[in-house]
Structure 1
Amino acid sequence: MTEPLSDDFGREVTGVRVSLTDRCNFDCVYCHNEGLGDTRGPMDPSDDEMDADDVVRFLEVVEGYGVEKVKFTGGEPMLRRDLEEILERTPESMEVSMTTNGTFLPGRAADLRAAGLDRVNVSQDALDPDDFAAVTKSGAYETVLEGVRAAVDAGLDPVKLNMVVFTHTAGYVEEMVDHVAENEGLQLQLIEYMPELTGKPEWNIDIERVHDWLTEIADRVEHREMHDRRRYYVGEEAPGEGGGMVEIVDPVENESFCANCGRVRVTHEGYLKGCLNRNDDLRSMGEMTRAEIAEAFEAVVANRVPYYGEYLVQTEEGAYELNEKYLGTPTIAD
């Protein structure tokens, strides 16, 4: 295996997060569309989306730079009719995961597993149909539950439930923790709400309160140096037996989260970006030739910022603004 590329801060890039589309059948109130803002297009495929050949060519090139993992995202990636083809053609050396809202998993999860998908994250923000509908603008609650069961049955293990924690969902945290503790094959990721990307600071809650509560109820706590995350094991009959695992994804005030980040993102249009909340370094891969892909990948890795709070800084009024150090940087690099 080729040694991974490292940025100027010593972080090796070993994973990529590839958006296959910005189309989605949900309209979640917190959506930031991979940091690009509310740019979701119509439900019909657009000419701007990378086709299967483009996606596979990109993965083949970065495999040569030591990339070991790929996560497919959207929008809703399962709106791509060629998803199974993309999975089948993804380099065998890569671990393959996907983030989805789960509505298309029933009847399709086994085929995805057979095509090469290893793991899946399913967005599930509430355990009540009405509140789920209020957050997602969708009436697909029962379908999502069915999709989660289908993913577990297909062996997409573990199935991680993603729950964004903000004022609309905070009341369901306790229920969701119990839910994963009682259902084998499930894990829970509680994702810190990012007001600077959604423009609704009034929806924010103190994520440390969730950490404190989990510390009190957990049977054991495991610290992961990667991203400075804690894993909480709840409802275990004995260490490592039964129960469920809960992890909090909290990047906003967590320098260590970014200090250990080894992932570069790709938009559905074929632009590379070095950070979720940074869009001034979007770099086109041109006509997606192997040489252009390699050049863009090397440039984006070299141009990464040290950590989340370096790029967006909070004012005394609580708003977020671009660090003056980065003002005047071109929006899209060619």
Structure 2
Amino acid sequence: MLIDTYGRIATDLRVSLTDRCNLRCTYCMPEEGLEWLGKSALLSDDEIVRLIRIAVTGLGVTDIRFTGGEPLLRPGLTGIVERCAALEPRPRMSLTTNGIGLGRTAAALKAAGLDRVNVSLDTLRPEVFKTLTRRGRHADVLAGLAAARASGLTPVKVNAVLMPGLNGDEAPDLLAWAVENDYELRFIEQMPLDAQHGWKRDGMIAAGDILDSLRTRFTLTPEGREARGAAPAERWIVDGGPHRVGVIASVTRPFCAACDRTRLTADGQIRSCLFATEETDLRAALRSGAPDEEIGRIWRRAMWGKKAGSGLDDPAFLQPERPMSAIGG
């Protein structure tokens, strides 16, 4: 098992397939983009599948989340999903995406074995979407969401980040839209993972503010800690059900004590925490011919040293050098 010194067991593996993205969200990267990883630095499809196999068959991982960058930009994505779906025991598999390419890929991904998707959509207003992402692709995201639902990649979850002065007033409208379309909405506090290192706590819309805004239109009943488990989102039942809304409050309501995640970057580095400042190299072991057992030992050692928390509340907190797009969400 991937256990740490605090007794937490990692069963959820986040796999970044690429650091590239076809949006330029203001809270993630600059307008000109970033210096992308070279092809030789990226794990191959075979290397990704091998590491996932080691995690699932030898290290107790039960859930795989494919992330990026934008994972739909990975040419071999469908094949990776299909090969992972054939593993025994079969892991649950999900995908976090901006949704732009989902309209043409949702059915194939479902057929390959993907279970569900999380789609990022911060606004219902096309003009605000263009300001936030620097791209005019709002309609494509809506089409991708509809295709995911039609293909059975359910429950379809929608992730939204609220920004003051842009979409900070949209929480109730987003929830009304999600309920109408049978999507599960989750608000995410903006985190210090931008490439520009411009994040400021006082410029963030916090979970409490989001909930206050939602309660102006909806009755929210807490689902409770028992139902939440190790999930990052606190959830509330909306107007008596059946719909729910979640808030991931990594900054103001950290959930590190129940964390069950381990992360693999697109260039083969293990990260024990989203905010970690150190990584463990599995790519070098892979390419030097290390057997599965040795790779498993390296992975276990990396997770054994996981810190108690993210350190966001520590005055000495240092933002990771890598931005979210290079770490994987």
**Alignment TM-score, normalising by the size of structure 1:** 0.83
**Counterpart for residue 272 of structure 2:** 274
**Counterpart for residue 301 of structure 1:** 303
Q: Is the 8 A contact 1:18 1:265 kept in 2?
A: yes
The DSSP-based 3-state class of the residue aligned with 1:308 is: coil
Paired with 1:183 and 1:199, the residues of 2 have a C-alpha distance of 35
The question of 1:48 aligning with 2:47 is answered no
**Counterpart for residue 79 of structure 1:** 73
Post-superposition offset of 1:282: 3.8
Q: Is the 8 A contact 2:2 2:299 kept in 1?
A: no
The question of 1:109 aligning with 2:136 is answered no
Alignment match of 1:61 (pick from 40, 50, 54): 54
Post-superposition offset of 1:107: 2.1
Paired with 1:296 and 1:46, the residues of 2 have a C-alpha distance of 24
Q: Could you give the per-residue CA deviations for residues 46-74 of structure 1, whole angstroms, max 9, x where no partner exists?
A: 22111111111001111111100010000
**Counterpart for residue 332 of structure 1:** none
Structure 2 unaligned residues grouped into runs of 5+: 320-329
Question: Any residues of structure 2 matched to 1:172-211 within 5 Å, and which?
Answer: 172-184=170-182, 186-195=183-192, 197=194, 198-201=197-200, 203-211=203-211
1 or 2 for the larger relative contact order (CA 8 Å, sep ≥6)?
2
**Counterpart for residue 25 of structure 2:** 28
Paired with 1:300 and 1:253, the residues of 2 have a C-alpha distance of 27
The DSSP-based 3-state class of the residue aligned with 1:253 is: coil
Paired with 2:52 and 2:283, the residues of 1 have a C-alpha distance of 13
Paired with 1:293 and 1:117, the residues of 2 have a C-alpha distance of 26
**Counterpart for residue 322 of structure 2:** none
Q: In terms of mean alpha carbon deviation, does 288-297 or 273-282 score higher?
A: 288-297
**Counterpart for residue 165 of structure 1:** 162
- Runs of 4 or more consecutive aligned structure 1 residues displaced over 4 Å after TM superposition: none
Fraction of identical pairs, as percent: 35
**Counterpart for residue 258 of structure 1:** 256
Task: Return closer, same or farther for 1:268/1:56 CA change in 2, 3 Å cut-off.
Answer: same
Alignment match of 1:98 (pick from 95, 99, 117): 95
Q: Could you give the per-residue CA deviations for residues 229-272 of structure 1, whole angstroms, max 9, x where no partner exists?
A: 53122245xx43xxx321000111334x1100011011100000
Q: Is the 8 A contact 1:101 1:144 kept in 2?
A: yes
Paired with 1:214 and 1:172, the residues of 2 have a C-alpha distance of 9
Post-superposition offset of 1:219: 4.9
**Counterpart for residue 326 of structure 2:** none
Q: Which amino acid aligns with 2:143?
A: E
Q: In terms of mean alpha carbon deviation, does 64-73 or 217-226 score higher?
A: 217-226
Post-superposition offset of 1:156: 0.4
Q: Is the 8 A contact 2:267 2:283 kept in 1?
A: no
Question: Any residues of structure 2 matched to 1:113-124 within 5 Å, and which?
Answer: 113-124=110-121
The question of 1:88 aligning with 2:82 is answered yes
Paired with 1:147 and 1:178, the residues of 2 have a C-alpha distance of 19
Task: Return closer, same or farther for 1:292/1:29 CA change in 2, 3 Å cut-off.
Answer: farther
Paired with 1:169 and 1:303, the residues of 2 have a C-alpha distance of 39
Q: Which amino acid aligns with 2:302?
A: V
Paired with 1:303 and 1:259, the residues of 2 have a C-alpha distance of 14
- Between Structure 1 and Structure 2, the one with more strand by share is 1
Q: Is the 8 A contact 2:172 2:213 kept in 1?
A: no
**Alignment TM-score, normalising by the size of structure 2:** 0.85
**Counterpart for residue 222 of structure 2:** 221
Q: Is the 8 A contact 2:189 2:250 kept in 1?
A: yes
Q: Is the 8 A contact 1:29 1:136 kept in 2?
A: yes
Paired with 2:139 and 2:193, the residues of 1 have a C-alpha distance of 32
Aligned pair count reads 302
Q: Which amino acid aligns with 1:199?
A: G
Post-superposition offset of 1:166: 2.5
Q: Which amino acid aligns with 1:114?
A: A
Q: Which amino acid aligns with 1:252?
A: V
